[in-house]
Amino acid sequence: MLLNEDMLSQDEIDALLKGTDDAEEVMELTPLLEDYVSVMEQDALGEIGNISFGSSTTALSTLLDHKVEITTPTVTLIERERIKEEFPLPYVAVEVRYTSGFSGTNILVIKQSDAAIIADIMLGGDGLNPSATLGDIQLSAIQEAMNQMMGSAATSMSTVFNKKVDISPPVISLMDLNAGEGEENIPPDSLLLRVSFRLKVGTLIDSNIMQLLPIDFAKELANELLIPATKEASRHIAKEQQLKVQSAAVKQTTVEHQRDATVSNQSKVQVAEPVNVQPVNFASFESNHAQESESNNLSMLLDIPLQVTVELGRTKRSVKEILELSSGSIIELDKLAGEPVDILVNNRLIAKGEVVVIDENFGVRVTDILSQTDRLKKIR
């Protein structure tokens, strides 16, 4: 009896079945992101990344004098035992530790080739021919760039979470996992979250910049953003109920007082009392009374709206130069790049600050402010 050449032998069938079982086992063992971080928590982490790194792009753009763009992040799950597969190239790792507002650490990861371009620009180059190796000078330049970026990110997080958020100076190190370098700097957790952004710096860099966070710390950040809204609503309801109880108590007390006053008036006989004439007491004109009066007068004005203006710079031009302006003309201002901007109230200087980006809107972070006395003089 001839066997059909197209038919499989029993050994081949067993091997195929064994391979299918192995594949199913691998699928069962692979952890899913949704099992550890809910969809809402993923969205919250993405929103935090958008706001904090949106501010960081402004700081990096100022340092490099190049247009810097960062796209919406993606959140993925990484197994610690497969970390080498996830990061096969040489990278630069920047450890950021929170000292106020939160308790945790995250790692910022960027390719060494991209870091070399950033370092070359900061050291006066054009970024087209960066050094093949990163020495101490290049690492110092990168660390300064990361320090500026993460400082701006912390400021934005302070605004988002409505509390003070501070970080320690970022610690930079080289990470080449396939060469056994830098793995000790990665958090020891068995599972990590990776928040990945697409980073573009002019035409020089089109790559990724990534955050590595322990899952517990990532969930803490997400829940801090999600839960306060519920807490605030509960506090608002409780406050309304308290006000209702107080209002009812006040009404009851008022009714009782009115009843007591009526009874008292009915039992009294009006008797003319002698007029008590006293000398006039004039107010003292000493400095402390004048200050109290000034403070009371100021309290009456606190709700009056004022116009707040942030001035990037100024310049003077002749009428001829103004008439020659057209679309695309460049006007040079009297301030250097990176110099603090002026914050004016009713066209009077009261503070200085730096420009930041908050949720795709421009803002200003106050860095230096006049004393309260000087500000009052300016307002006058």
CA–CA dist 210, 348 (Å, integer):
43
Residue 90, pLDDT score: 92
Which residues are paired to 344 by β-bridges? 309, 349
Confidence of residue 117 (pLDDT cuts 50, 70, 90): very high
Amino acid, res. 314: R
Tell me what percent of the residues of the chain surpass a pLDDT of 70: 70
The average pLDDT across 125-152 equals 86
Residue 135, CA atoms < 13 Å, CB-side half-sphere? 6
- Residue 252 parent element (H or E): helix 215-267
Amino acid, res. 323: L
Concatenated DSSP letters for 49-101?
Answer: HHHHHHHHHHHHHHHHTS-EEE---EEEEEEGGGHHHH--S-EEEEEEEEEES
Residue 116, pLDDT score: 92
Tell me what percent of the residues of the chain surpass a pLDDT of 90: 4
The average pLDDT across 89-107 equals 87
Highest mean pLDDT among 1-5, 111-115, 301-305: 111-115
**Which ranges in the chain are annotated with CATH 2.30.330.10?**
304-320+337-380
The average pLDDT across 276-299 equals 55
346-362 per-position pLDDT tens digit: 778 888 888 888 877 88
The average pLDDT across 215-241 equals 67
Residue recorded with tokens 């006040």: 250
Q: Are 315 and 331 in contact (CB under 8 A)?
A: yes
231-285 per-position pLDDT tens digit: 444 455 455 556 655 555 555 555 555 555 554 555 444 445 555 655 655 555 4
53-78 per-position pLDDT tens digit: 777 888 888 888 888 888 878 888 98
The average pLDDT across 179-204 equals 87
Q: Does domain 30-227 have CATH number 3.40.1550.10?
A: yes
**pLDDT above 80: residue 105:** yes
- Number of neighbours of residue 50 by Cβ within 10 angstroms: 18
**pLDDT above 70: residue 304:** yes
Taking alpha carbons only, the member of 376, 375, 356, 374 closest to residue 365 is 356
Residue 232, pLDDT score: 47
Q: Are 161 and 1 in contact (CB under 8 A)?
A: no
Mean pLDDT of the chain: 76
Higher-pLDDT residue of 146 and 281 is 146
**pLDDT above 70: residue 297:** no
Residues 6+ apart with CB under 8 A from 163: 101
4-32 per-position pLDDT tens digit: 555 666 666 666 666 555 544 444 467 78
Letter string b/e over residues 103-130, b meaning 16 or more CB atoms within 10 A of that residue's CB: eebbbbbbbbbbbbbbbbbbeeeebeeb
Tell me the whole-structure pTM to 2 decimals. 0.53
Letter string b/e over residues 160-199, b meaning 16 or more CB atoms within 10 A of that residue's CB: bbeeebebeebebebbebeeeebbebbbeeebbbbbbbeb
Letter string b/e over residues 260-290, b meaning 16 or more CB atoms within 10 A of that residue's CB: eeeeeeeeeeeeeeeeeeeeeeeeeeeeeee
Which residues are paired to 79 by β-bridges? 191
Our CA dihedral for 179, 184, 187, 188, rounded to 10 degrees, sits at 100
Provide the 3-class DSSP secondary structure of residue 102: coil
CA–CA dist 356, 343 (Å, integer):
14
**pLDDT above 60: residue 173:** yes
CA–CA dist 345, 347 (Å, integer):
5
**Which ranges in the chain are annotated with CATH 3.40.1550.10?**
30-227
Confidence of residue 320 (pLDDT cuts 50, 70, 90): confident
CA–CA dist 345, 186 (Å, integer):
48
130-134, 163-167, 284-288: segment of lowest average pLDDT: 284-288
Residue recorded with tokens 């089109």: 206
CA–CA dist 47, 43 (Å, integer):
6
Domain 304-320+337-380, what fold? Surface presentation of antigens (SPOA) (2.30.330)
**pLDDT above 60: residue 288:** no
Q: How far is CA 246 from the centre of its chain?
A: 39
